[in-house]
Amino acid sequence: MTRERHETLILGGGVTGLAAGIASGYPVFEGQAFPGGICSSYYVRRGSTGRIPNPGPKADAYRFEHGGGHWIFGGHPEVLGIVERLAPCDRIARKSSVYFPDDSRYVGFPLQHHLHQLRPDVAARALAEVLAASAESAPRTMAEALEAQFGKTLAELFFHPFHAGYTAGLWREIAPQDGYKTPLDLRLVRQGALGPATPVGYNVTFLYPRDGLDSLIGGLAARADLRCGHSVAGIDLARREIVLDDGRVVGYGRLLSTLPLNRMVELTGIQTQSAPDPYTSVLVLNIGARRGPRCPDDHWLYIPQSQAGFHRVGFYSNVHPHFLPASVRDANNATCIYVERSFPGGTRPGTAEVARYAEATVRELQAWGFIADVEAMDPSWVDVAYTWTYPGSSWVKEATSALVRENVWLAGRYARWMFQGIADSLRDGFLAGQALRLAQ
């Protein structure tokens, strides 16, 4: 029996859903007990294993984020203005490198613009290959695109092994996408073969709230009609009803979904001729530790090879000291980091496997000199972390069209099966919310 009914409902209380709720005034259903989705923070006290809510700025606890570091890059000035009014931010100049553990070598990001930091023979070979690459090729897969653009030397040295980890082995099957993440400017390639090159890329600078990401999420949530703990178990498109996991049934006239597209396909039972496109899940291992003797000051590192299987290490506390317990912020003897490892979508390691992986990761980071004794550690799982498409696939278009025909609107990174950051996701939400109001 339907207990309540709404003209319009918004599914998902991440940044897109919250923005849509603010712009429209319609209720936002969020399955978790907290808003923000993967863009939310939590805390673990030193020597403890339990998560706690925000204990305040003077707490002796490490601040972690559910999906690893979320830095606010790009975005329209109007959206960034809203962000800064809700949560005053620092603008930070990116410091990022590729790290080769075999010889403890750091090469600035993007790699192709910092060839002078490679061995001279490797740099010379890579430079010749990049300059000789043809722009006329039409690669079918991501792996083919990387090698066509950057040449065999850089592909084998970095791009293939890194993307093998980043995509959980999919890079030889999926279509090229997100090319802006690996910019290529031949002028800067030549410049970087001789010395430092001008920084480029989509995240040369980024914003981060001075009081943590929670201050932004909290500011958004306070302005939306947010209903946490409303996890959707099924959607009856014919009856226009949502079944929640506690058995409640809620009627609706329209839906705006910010949930992952594959999840909406499952919940609604719509059929597509094409097989679903793939995705990868990510296990984020959050670690608070004593600072190792060779801990870098980068914000994040790309790792082409690791024994434990991770592909990126980020340093929360190099972005802002409030990620550290209050008692050690001024001592420069602690670090707060996140470590990312991808898994094929639909698979998830068990508790014992995660424990073994965590031990192996800690040993490897200690061997590299990044960390010493661990004081807090917590794994965070992101089921749909990165979305991909197969060459020539029409699944996204088919699924989206089928949902729109049933008066289900889609907004945000995961609903539209693409990559974008927090600022663009906010913009999607504000625009979608305004459109809902205009379409009453």
| pLDDT at res. 5 | 92
Average pLDDT over residues 90-117: 96
Distance CA 416, CA 322 (A): 34
Secondary structure in 3-state letters for 391-427:
CCCCHHHHHHHHHHHCCEEECCCCCCCCCCCHHHHHH
Q: What is the pLDDT of residues 348-378, one digit of tens each?
A: 999 999 999 999 999 999 999 999 999 999 9
Read off the tokens for 297.
């000051």
**How far are the Cα atoms of 29, 94, 95, 322 from residue 205, in angstroms, in the given order?**
33, 5, 9, 19
Q: How confident is the model at residue 440 (pLDDT cuts 50, 70, 90)?
A: confident
Q: What is the mean pLDDT of residues 231-252?
A: 96
SS3 271: coil
Reading the block at residue 23, the tokens are 């712009």
**pLDDT-derived band at 439, boundaries 50, 70, 90:** confident
- Residue range 2-36+212-274+392-438 forms a domain whose CATH class is alpha beta
When pLDDT is cut at 50, 70 and 90, the band that residue 135 belongs to is low
The count of residues in the chain is 440
Domain edges within the chain: 2-36+212-274+392-438, 96-194
Element (H, E) at 175: none
Joined together, the tokens standing for residue 134 give 């043809």
| pLDDT in the model for residue 58 | 76
Evaluate if residue 115 carries a pLDDT over 80.
yes
Handedness of CA 157, 160, 164, 166 (dihedral sign): positive
Most confident range (mean pLDDT) of 30-39, 210-219, 386-395 is 386-395
Q: Per-residue pLDDT tens for 171-228?
A: 999 999 887 778 889 999 999 999 999 988 888 999 999 888 989 999 999 999 999 9
- Amino acid 47: pLDDT: 87
Q: Closest by alpha carbon to 99, among 380, 369, 376? A: 369
Helices in 58-179 by DSSP H: which ranges? 77-86, 120-132, 142-154, 160-166
pLDDT in tens, 397-417: 999 999 999 999 999 999 999
Q: What is the largest CA-CA distance in the chain?
A: 73
Tokens coding 132: 């000789």
Decide if pLDDT at 2 tops 60: no
pTM exceeding 0.85? yes
pLDDT tens per residue, range 259-308:
999 999 999 999 999 999 999 999 999 999 999 999 999 999 999 999 99
Does the structure show a pLDDT above 70 at 134?
Answer: no
pLDDT tops 70 at residue 136: no
Q: What is the pLDDT of residue 354?
A: 97
Determine the Cα–Cα distance for residues 106 and 158; give it in Å rounded to an integer.
12
Of 13-17, 38-42, 172-176, the range with the lowest mean pLDDT is 38-42
CB atoms within 10 A of CB 125: 18
Spatial distance between the Cα atoms of 64 and 41, rounded to a whole number of angstroms? 6
